[in-house]
Amino acid sequence: MTDCIELNVTKTVNDDGSATFTLKACPVGYKCLEHVTPDIEIWLHDIIECRASHEGDRVYKDELDKHLNAGTLSSDMTKSSLILNSTVNHSLPENQ
**Which tens digits make up the pLDDT trace of 83-96?**
999 999 887 766 65
The pTM is what?
Answer: 0.78
Rounded CA-CA distance 70/82 in Å is 14
**Which tens digits make up the pLDDT trace of 20-47?**
999 999 999 999 999 999 999 999 999 9
1 pLDDT tier (thresholds 50, 70, 90): low
Closest CA to 82 of 95, 66, 71: 66
Whole-number pLDDT of residue 55: 96
Judging by DSSP bridges, how do beta strands 7-13 and 19-25 pair with one another?
antiparallel
Buried b (16+ CB within 10 A) or exposed e, 29-60: beeebeeeeeeeeeeeeeeeeeeeeeeeeebb
Residue 91 DSSP class: S
Whole-number pLDDT of residue 96: 56
